């Protein structure tokens, strides 16, 4: 190989290498030779928390177009290169073009990643040798990270973005963060404080509250490290008293009544309360009620307590500002992969009482306690799914104390020594049983609604779900008791025993919480066996359980409109004023989403919207409904209401509301920016203007919208719901684009975004007439690139199957239309847009459709030309001015962020 590599160097051909320190397998001498002797550009990942990359592959680009690649087991190590038996496969751009495209996209994404650092043997050789010598093992949690510039992992950055959105968009300054133990909640809190401090005029005072000294000491060190200030913070615990009193890490016990008397309610700008699930206890409640900080942040892994108190409901109006998604934690290898088995237990619960999303515990207890046939199936499932149930460390979640005691007796009698725990158990009983489980003296502990940190035992490797729940919160909490990483625990085994449920029971809620899928996608995943799960994780159902769950999910998808109307009537009847029952309240009460209302087909010739369904249920007074002569007109307009499912920024919300007011001024009297907002609203109802039945001019169109009070109410309620759920932080384009009303990271329909960029002005093409993914608008000097990331042959012809993906949070690879060449007018505009004074605007959506219809696009903002390759089409790399949201990057990237 020496000759070939030397030839590359002599001919000046670029040569790039990616490698890692995983398992210490790479050969430092070989890496140094590649860089020094052959001029290779090398980047190394020193990441030791997870593998990140363990690929062994080579790719050779050829100007002729006949590129090739070799993928296999030959890594750059002594054994692989000399005496190992290795297997490799050759790929070519002719035989397997899609695989080479994927190879190239993945390589470029890793190359642009911050995880891979440029390597210079003279400067970095010692660091590489040290990392390889450590064998790529995990860094001990007690290693000091002082003097490091702490940056968030992607999932933590997303949590910080969501916190920012709560404060800026919704003006909410009491927020709850939920994430599993071990995922870095305290680091998120410290990074959040650092960001708040950066935007403040004065130094922000801080109070961090926890219940143990060890937690406080670790938290203070974390803040000191993040802030790069070793002297940051003072302890107030076990007799320690602060001298400066500016940044205090205090135990709950030290904040007694006497101490609180000395501290004014406004003395701390930021208050962080760890383990916030304790907040309803008197000692915590008095602290929460005493202080009035600018920002209150609660941290917890378990918002719902065993006594039924949900701190999100009690203190945050049911809101969770940010919740670490299970898949994110699994992808980051922060949690143990799990094998979930849905096992049919044959128990018929369909005739039991089911109200407000749950069964009566008393009735479940009567069905389960003493049910030897079901218990035999539980024991049989353990024998079938476990390698050796006599070595497991299991927690089983039961309905009642009697049920837990019964299960413990039956397991013990079968040779699996077990114990029962509940809220009635003493602290000593709990501690003794859990220690016995850790030591392997017990095989299982059967618990009744215990989700606190007392059950947080990393060694637990089996979870038995012995009571039905549709609550995603309870389901994730039960699952979470076994997800902690531990030595010699490669996987968590989860057995969920599934019976025939009441018709109102909903399986989709808990499985969507686990997978992040829509209901439609969940039904497909159930049929296909969940093909897209994180590495090492499985979800498997037996035939009967799969049928029960799949039929239940499909029934929710196929819920008839008359049933929805009756549901609305029943829930509204429980209110003091049923006619004032809102869409927001219904979605909360019914555990539904807005798309459940607007995705439906017409009924009785009417579109399915919130007010048409309320009208059918007799909840809209006749005086508010339009006359018979105008009913057809208003129903046609309300059919377009679902276009407003995407409105997620306060500026557009306010602007639309102002334009719909009866006393709004004529559009012609407004500045250009406001006129474009008016066009966005107009074309949302009439995409092709007069051609689609709309009034001939903007003022007539808006006046028609204003004239229907029921339509204005529909839009107000719908926009309230969608804006309330906004998770990204929109920002205006700034001084470069004063007349464009679009905001980056907000969602827009095709009609809205094109109108916002100037389409439809002065007799130009209307937005509804555009079907291509590229639109040039001379009036604003802007070109819109509309990208759909996940295309399929079903939705797109081969000519529009472009190769579009995110290389990094600021770099995006895009393919032009097939006819575009570098010398064409479009190709020249792309390359020289900055010099020519034109602007390229990038809009992205994950898929063409969503549950309620056509998917909106998220506006990633103006982009700048970086480079291009090829012709017909051109492959162009764009640089974003503002990094894309991490949720978008996760969907657009060819590799997991």
pLDDT in tens, 828-855: 999 999 999 999 999 999 888 887 788 9
Query: What pLDDT does residue 795 have?
Result: 46
Instruction: Kindly state the average pLDDT of the residues 671-689.
Output: 94
Alpha carbon distance 372, 709 (integer Å):
61
First vs last C-alpha separation in the chain: 34
Is residue 693 very low, low, confident or very high in pLDDT (cuts 50, 70, 90)?
confident
Its sign, for the CA torsion 527, 529, 531, 533, is positive
Question: Residue 298's beta-bridge partner residues?
Answer: 176, 273
Is residue 143 very low, low, confident or very high in pLDDT (cuts 50, 70, 90)?
very low
CB neighbour list of residue 523: distance below 8 Å, 6 or more residues apart = 550, 553, 554, 557
Cα–Cα separations (whole angstroms), residue 476 to 188, 247, 437, 481, 553 = 21, 34, 22, 9, 19
Instruction: Kindly state the average pLDDT of the residues 715-720.
Output: 88
Query: What pLDDT does residue 800 have?
Result: 43
Helix or strand run (H / E) with residue 290: helix 282-290
pTM for the full predicted model: 0.80
Q: Are 852 and 721 in contact (CB under 8 A)?
A: no
CB neighbour list of residue 132: distance below 8 Å, 6 or more residues apart = 21, 24, 26, 28
Query: What pLDDT does residue 147 have?
Result: 41
pLDDT digits (tens, 9 = 90+) for 155-182: 888 899 999 999 988 899 999 998 876 6
Query: What pLDDT does residue 81 have?
Result: 57
Q: Are 460 and 478 in contact (CB under 8 A)?
A: no
Question: Residue 782's beta-bridge partner residues?
Answer: 777, 839
Of all residues in the chain, the percent with pLDDT exceeding 70 is: 93
Q: Are 719 and 832 in contact (CB under 8 A)?
A: no
Query: What pLDDT does residue 145 have?
Result: 41
CB neighbour list of residue 64: distance below 8 Å, 6 or more residues apart = none
Instruction: Kindly state the average pLDDT of the residues 855-870.
Output: 95
Query: What pLDDT does residue 799 have?
Result: 46
Is pLDDT above 60 for 124? yes
Is pLDDT above 90 for 303? no
Cα–Cα separations (whole angstroms), residue 611 to 17, 618, 647, 724, 860 = 60, 10, 19, 19, 34
């Amino acid at each position: 190989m020496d000759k070939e590599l030397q030839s590359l160097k002599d001919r000046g051909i670029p040569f790039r290498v990616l490698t890692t320190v995983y398992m210490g397998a790479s050969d430092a001498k070989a890496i140094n030779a590649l860089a020094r002797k052959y001029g290779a550009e090398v980047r190394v990942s020193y990441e030791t928390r997870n593998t990140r990359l363990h690929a062994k592959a080579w790719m050779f680009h050829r100007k002729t177009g006949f590129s090739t690649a070799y993928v296999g087991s030959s890594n750059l190590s002594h054994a692989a290169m000399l005496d190992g038996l290795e297997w490799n496969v050759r790929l070519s751009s002719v035989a397997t073009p899609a695989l080479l495209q994927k190879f190239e996209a993945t390589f470029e994404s890793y190359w642009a990643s911050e995880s891979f650092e440029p390597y210079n043997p003279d400067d970095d050789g010692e660091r590489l040798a040290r990392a390889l010598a450590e064998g790529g093992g995990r860094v001990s949690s007690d290693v000091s990270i002082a003097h490091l510039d702490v940056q968030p992992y992607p999932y933590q950055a997303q949590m910080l973005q969501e916190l920012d959105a709560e404060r800026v968009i919704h003006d909410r300054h009491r927020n709850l963060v939920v994430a599993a133990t071990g995922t870095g909640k305290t680091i998120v809190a410290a990074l959040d404080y650092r960001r708040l401090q950066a935007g403040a005029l004065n130094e922000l005072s801080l109070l961090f509250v926890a219940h143990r000294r060890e937690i406080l000491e670790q938290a203070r060190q974390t803040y000191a490290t993040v802030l790069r200030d070793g002297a940051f913070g003072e302890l107030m615990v076990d007799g320690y008293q602060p001298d400066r009193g500016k940044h205090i890490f205090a135990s709950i016990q030290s904040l007694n009544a006497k101490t609180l008397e000395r501290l004014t309610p406004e003395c701390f700008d930021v208050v962080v309360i760890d383990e916030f699930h304790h907040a309803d206890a008197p000692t915590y409640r008095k602290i929460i009620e005493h202080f009035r900080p600018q920002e209150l942040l609660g941290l917890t892994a378990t918002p719902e307590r065993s006594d039924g108190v949900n701190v999100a409901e009690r203190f945050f109006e049911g809101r969770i500002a940010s919740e670490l998604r299970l898949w994110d934690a699994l992808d980051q290898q922060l949690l143990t992969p799990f094998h979930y088995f849905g096992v049919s237990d044959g128990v018929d619960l369909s005739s039991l009482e089911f109200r407000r999303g749950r069964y009566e515990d008393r009735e479940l207890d009567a069905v389960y306690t003493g049910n030897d046939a079901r218990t035999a199936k539980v024991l049989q499932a353990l024998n079938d799914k476990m390698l050796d149930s006599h070595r497991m460390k299991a927690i089983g979640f039961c309905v009642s104390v009697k049920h837990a005691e019964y299960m413990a007796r039956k397991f013990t009698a079968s040779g699996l020594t077990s114990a029962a725990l509940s809220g009635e158990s003493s602290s000593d009983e709990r501690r003794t049983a859990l220690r016995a489980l850790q030591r392997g003296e017990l095989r299982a502990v059967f618990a009744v609604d215990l989700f606190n940190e007392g059950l947080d035992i990393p060694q637990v490797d089996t979870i038995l779900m012995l009571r039905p729940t549709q609550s995603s919160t309870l389901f994730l909490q039960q699952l979470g008791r076994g997800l902690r990483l531990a030595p010699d625990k490669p996987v968590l085994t989860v057995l969920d025993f599934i019976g025939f449920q009441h018709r109102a029971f909903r399986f989709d809620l808990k499985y969507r919480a686990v997978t992040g899928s829509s209901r439609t996608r969940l039904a497909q995943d159930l049929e296909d066996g969940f093909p897209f799960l994180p590495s090492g994780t499985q979800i498997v159902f037996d035939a009967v359980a799969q049928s029960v769950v799949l039929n239940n999910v499909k029934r929710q998808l196929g819920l008839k409109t008359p049933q929805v109307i009756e549901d609305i009537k029943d829930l509204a009847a429980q209110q003091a004023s049923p006619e004032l029952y809102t869409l927001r309240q219904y979605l909360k009460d019914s555990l539904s989403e807005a798309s459940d209302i607007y995705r439906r087909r017409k009924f009785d010739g009417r579109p399915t919207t919130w007010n048409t369904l309320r009208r059918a249920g007799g909840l809209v007074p006749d005086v508010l409904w339009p006359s018979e002569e105008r009913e057809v007109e208003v129903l046609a307009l309300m059919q377009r209401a679902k276009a407003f499912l995407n409105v997620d920024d306060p500026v557009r919300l306010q602007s639309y509301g102002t334009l719909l007011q009866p006393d709004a001024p004529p559009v012609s009297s407004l500045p250009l920016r406001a006129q474009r907002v008016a066009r966005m609203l107009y074309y949302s109802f009439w995409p092709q203007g007069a051609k689609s039945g709309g009034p001939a001019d903007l003022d007539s169109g808006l006046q028609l919208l204003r004239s229907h009070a029921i339509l204005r109410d529909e839009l107000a309620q719908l926009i309230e719901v969608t804006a309330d759920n906004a998770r990204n932080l929109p920002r205006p384009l700034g001084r470069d684009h004063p007349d464009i009303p679009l905001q980056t990271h907000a969602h827009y329909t095709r009609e809205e975004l094109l109108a916002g960029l100037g389409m439809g002005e002065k007799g130009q093409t209307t937005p509804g007439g555009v079907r291509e993914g590229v639109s040039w608008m001379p009036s604003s000097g802007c070109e819109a690139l509309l990208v759909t990331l996940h295309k399929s042959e079903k939705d797109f012809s081969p000519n529009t199957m472009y190769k579009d993906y995110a290389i990094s949070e600021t770099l995006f690879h895009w393919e032009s239309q097939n006819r575009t060449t570098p010398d064409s007018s479009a190709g020249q505009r792309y390359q020289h847009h900055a010099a020519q004074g034109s602007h390229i605007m990038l809009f992205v959506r994950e898929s063409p459709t969503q549950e309620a219809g056509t998917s909106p696009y998220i506006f990633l903002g103006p982009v700048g030309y970086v480079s291009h390759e090829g012709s017909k089409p051109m492959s162009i790399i764009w640089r974003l001015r503002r990094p894309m949201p991490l949720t978008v990057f996760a969907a657009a990237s060819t590799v997991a962020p």
